[in-house]
Amino acid sequence: MTRFITGYGVCSALGVGRETFLAAMKNPTLLEHRTLPAAQAFTSEDARVAEVPDFDPAKYLGDKGLRTLDRLTKLVLVAARLAAHDAGIKKDNAYVVHAGERVGILCSNAYGSLEAITELNRVAKLEDARYINPAKFPNTVANSASGYVSIWEDFKALNVAISDGNCGALDAFTMAEVHLSQDRADALLVGGGEAMSEALCLAFQKLGVLETKAVLGEGAAFVVVEKVARGNVLAHVLGSGSAFSAPESDLQVTHGSADALSRAIASALAEANVDKGEIDLVVSGASGLRVFDRIEIAAIQSTLHEDVAIAAPKMLFGETLGAGGAMAAASALAYLEGAPPTPIVSGTSRPLKTMLLTAMGYYGNASAVVLRAP
Amino acid sequence: MTESASRVFVTGVGVVSSIGLGRREFFSALEKGTTGISPLELFDSTSIGRGYAGEVKIFDPKDHLTQAELKRTGRCSAMALAAARMAFEDAKIDASALKGPRTSVVVGTTMGEADVIGELDHAWIKNGPRAVSRTLLPKYGSTLLPIHVARAIGAEGMILCMPAACAAGNYAIGFAADLIRAGKADVVVCGSSEIIQELEFAGFARLAAMAPERCQPFDLNRQGLILGEGAGMLVLESEAHAIKRGATLCAEIGGYGLSCDAYHITRPHPDAQGSISAMRQAIVRSQISPNDVDFVNAHGTGTKANDQAEAKVMKDVFGDRRVPISSVKSMIGHCMGAASALEAVACIFTIETGIYPPTIGYETPDPECDLEVVGNVARKGRAEIVLNNSLAFGGYNAITCFAKPHVLPSPKKAA
pLDDT digits (tens, 9 = 90+) for B276-302: 999 999 999 999 999 999 999 999 999
- The conformation of residue B411, written as its DSSP 8-state character, comes to P
Instruction: Give residues 105 to 164 of B whose Cβ lies within 8 Å of A.
Output: 109-112, 117-118, 120-122, 124-126, 129, 132, 134, 137-144, 147, 150-151, 154-164
Tally: H helices and E strands in chain A: 11, 16
Inter-chain CB proximity B121 and A146 less than 8 Å: no
pLDDT of residue A35: 82
Residue A369 CA: distances (Å) to CA of A208, A282, B193: 30, 10, 29
Inter-chain CB proximity A132 and B158 less than 8 Å: no
- From the list B341, B307, B342, the residue with the least C-alpha distance to B325 is B307
- From the list A345, A350, A364, the residue with the least C-alpha distance to A259 is A364
Chain A residues whose beta carbon lies within 8 Å of the beta carbon of residue B258? 104, 157-160, 179, 184
Rg (CA), chain B: 20
Residue B406 is among the residues annotated as catalytic for this protein = no
Region A330-334: mean pLDDT is 98
Chain A residues whose beta carbon lies within 8 Å of the beta carbon of residue B144? 253, 363
Inter-chain CB proximity B68 and A251 less than 8 Å: yes
- B385 phi and psi, to 5 degrees? -135, 125
pLDDT of residue A48: 79
Percent of chain B with pLDDT over 70: 100
Question: Choosing among B105, B158, B190, B194, which should be mutated to test the A contact, i.e. which has the most A CBs within 10 A?
Answer: B158
Type of residue at A203: A
- A239 phi and psi, to 5 degrees? 180, 165
Burial class (CB in 10 A: 0-12, 13-18, 19+), B38: middle
- From the list B140, B138, B134, B135, the residue with the least C-alpha distance to B118 is B140
Q: Does B47 touch chain A (CB under 8 A)?
A: yes
Phi-psi region of A311 (alpha: psi -120 to 50; beta: other; left: phi over 0): beta
A46 has a pLDDT exceeding 80? no
A151 in Cβ contact with B260 (< 8 Å): no
Chain B residues whose beta carbon lies within 8 Å of the beta carbon of residue A228? none
pLDDT band at A45 (very low <50, low <70, confident <90, very high): low
Neighbours of A61 (CB within 10 A): 17
Burial class (CB in 10 A: 0-12, 13-18, 19+), B388: buried
Q: Which residues contact A240 (CB under 8 A, 6 or more apart)?
A: A170, A171, A173, A174, A177, A267, A268, A271, A367, A368, A369, A370
Cα A183 to Cα A44: distance, rounded to the nearest angstrom:
48
For B9-33, write each residue's pLDDT tens digit. 999 999 999 999 999 999 999 999 9
Q: Does A42 touch chain B (CB under 8 A)?
A: no
pLDDT of residue B340: 98
Query: In this predicted structure, which of A67-81, A177-191, B23-37, B401-415 has the lowest mean pLDDT?
Result: B401-415
Active-site entry in B161, B166, B250, B335: B166
Burial class (CB in 10 A: 0-12, 13-18, 19+), B349: buried
B269 has a pLDDT exceeding 90? yes
Distance from CA of A254 to the nearest CA of B (A): 7
Query: Who among B111, B260, B266 is closest to A142 (CB)?
Result: B111
Our CA angle for B258, B264, B270, nearest 5°, is 80
- B397 phi and psi, to 5 degrees? -120, 130
- A43 phi and psi, to 5 degrees? -90, 120
Region A92-116: mean pLDDT is 96
Region A104-116: mean pLDDT is 96
Inter-chain CB proximity B203 and A134 less than 8 Å: yes
B201 has a pLDDT exceeding 90? yes
Residue B215 is among the residues annotated as catalytic for this protein = no
ipTM: 0.97
- From the list A244, A104, A228, the residue with the least C-alpha distance to A175 is A104
Chain B residues whose beta carbon lies within 8 Å of the beta carbon of residue A244? 147, 150, 155-159
Instruction: Give residues 328 to 367 of B whose Cβ lies within 8 Å of A.
Output: none
- From the list B107, B43, B37, the residue with the least C-alpha distance to B76 is B107
Inter-chain CB proximity B111 and A156 less than 8 Å: no
A305 has a pLDDT exceeding 90? yes
- From the list A119, A245, A330, A104, the residue with the least C-alpha distance to B398 is A104
Region B143-152: mean pLDDT is 96
Type of residue at A180: L
Cα A232 to Cα A225: distance, rounded to the nearest angstrom:
12
Distance from CA of A241 to the nearest CA of B (A): 8
Residues in chain B: 415
B142 has a pLDDT exceeding 80? yes
- From the list A199, A189, A221, A190, the residue with the least C-alpha distance to A317 is A221
pLDDT of residue B1: 42
Q: Does A112 touch chain B (CB under 8 A)?
A: yes
Distance from CA of A188 to the nearest CA of B (A): 13
Cα A304 to Cα B321: distance, rounded to the nearest angstrom:
60
Query: In this predicted structure, which of A246-250, B171-175, B342-346 has the lowest mean pLDDT?
Result: A246-250
Segment A24-27 long-range contacts (CB within 8 Å, at least 24 positions apart):
A24/A316, A25/A313, A25/A316, A25/A331, A25/A334, A25/A335, A25/A339, A25/A342, A26/A334, A26/A338, A26/A339, A26/A340
Cα B317 to Cα B125: distance, rounded to the nearest angstrom:
51
B234 has a pLDDT exceeding 50? yes
Region B170-178: mean pLDDT is 98
| Helical packing angle, A290-303 and A258-272, nearest 10° | 40
Cα B190 to Cα B187: distance, rounded to the nearest angstrom:
10
A107 in Cβ contact with A149 (< 8 Å): yes
A104 has a pLDDT exceeding 90? yes
For A160-202, write each residue's pLDDT tens digit. 999 999 999 999 999 999 999 999 999 999 999 999 999 999 9
Chain B residues whose beta carbon lies within 8 Å of the beta carbon of residue A263? 101, 156
Q: Which helix (H) or strand (E) holds B234?
A: strand B230-238
Bridge partner list, B52 = B39
Active-site entry in B299, B347, B369, B401: B299
Bridge-based pairing state of the strands A344-346 and A310-311: antiparallel
Inter-chain CB proximity B165 and A141 less than 8 Å: yes
Burial class (CB in 10 A: 0-12, 13-18, 19+), A137: buried
pLDDT of residue A47: 73
Distance from CA of B122 to the nearest CA of A (A): 7
pLDDT of residue A320: 97
Q: Which residues contact B153 (CB under 8 A, 6 or more apart)?
A: B84, B88, B95, B96, B98, B99, B103, B105, B189
Q: Does A285 touch chain B (CB under 8 A)?
A: no
Active-site entry in B161, B334, B335, B347: B334
Neighbours of B407 (CB within 10 A): 15
Region B352-362: mean pLDDT is 98
Cα A267 to Cα A273: distance, rounded to the nearest angstrom:
10
Query: In this predicted structure, which of A147-156, A209-218, B163-172, B390-399 has the lowest mean pLDDT?
Result: A209-218
Q: What is the pTM of this model?
A: 0.97
For B88-124, write each residue's pLDDT tens digit. 999 999 877 899 999 999 999 999 999 999 999 999 9
Distance from CA of A116 to the nearest CA of B (A): 11
CA A157, B333, B121, B66 dihedral sign is negative
- From the list B265, B271, B230, the residue with the least C-alpha distance to B396 is B265
For B380-389, write each residue's pLDDT tens digit. 999 999 999 9
B342 in Cβ contact with B329 (< 8 Å): no
Residue A281 CA: distances (Å) to CA of A21, A237, A298, B37: 20, 15, 15, 57
Query: Who among B109, B155, B199 is closest to A124 (CB)?
Result: B199
Instruction: Give residues 228 to 257 of B whose Cβ lies within 8 Å of A.
Output: none
pLDDT of residue B14: 98
Q: What is the mean pLDDT of chain B?
A: 96
DSSP per position, A173-230: HHHHHHHHHTTS-SEEEEEEEE---HHHHHHHHHTTGGGSS--EE-EEEEEEEESS--
Residue B299 is among the residues annotated as catalytic for this protein = yes
Chain A residues whose beta carbon lies within 8 Å of the beta carbon of residue B259? 101, 156-158
Instruction: Give residues 299 to 358 of A whose Cβ lies within 8 Å of B.
Output: none
pLDDT of residue A36: 82
- From the list A103, A75, A71, the residue with the least C-alpha distance to A87 is A103
Question: Choosing among A248, A253, A367, which should be mutated to test the B contact, i.e. which has the most B CBs within 10 A?
Answer: A253
A38 has a pLDDT exceeding 80? no
CA B203, B207, B208, B209 dihedral sign is negative
Chain A residues whose beta carbon lies within 8 Å of the beta carbon of residue B198? 124, 129
Q: Does B190 touch chain A (CB under 8 A)?
A: no
Distance from CA of B377 to the nearest CA of A (A): 35
Query: Who among A120, A159, A251 is closest to B260 (CB)?
Result: A159
Inter-chain CB proximity A159 and B199 less than 8 Å: no
Inter-chain CB proximity A163 and B259 less than 8 Å: no
Type of residue at B330: S
- From the list A145, A132, A116, the residue with the least C-alpha distance to B121 is A116
Residue A64 CA: distances (Å) to CA of A67, A71, A149, B383: 8, 15, 15, 49
Q: Does B264 touch chain A (CB under 8 A)?
A: yes
For B27-81, write each residue's pLDDT tens digit. 999 999 999 999 999 999 999 999 999 999 999 999 999 999 999 999 999 999 9
Inter-chain CB proximity A117 and B117 less than 8 Å: yes
Q: Does A135 touch chain B (CB under 8 A)?
A: no
Q: What stretches of B135-229 adopt beta strand conformation (E)? A: 159-162, 187-194
Q: Which residues contact A297 (CB under 8 A, 6 or more apart)?
A: A284, A286, A310, A345, A346
Q: Does B263 touch chain A (CB under 8 A)?
A: yes
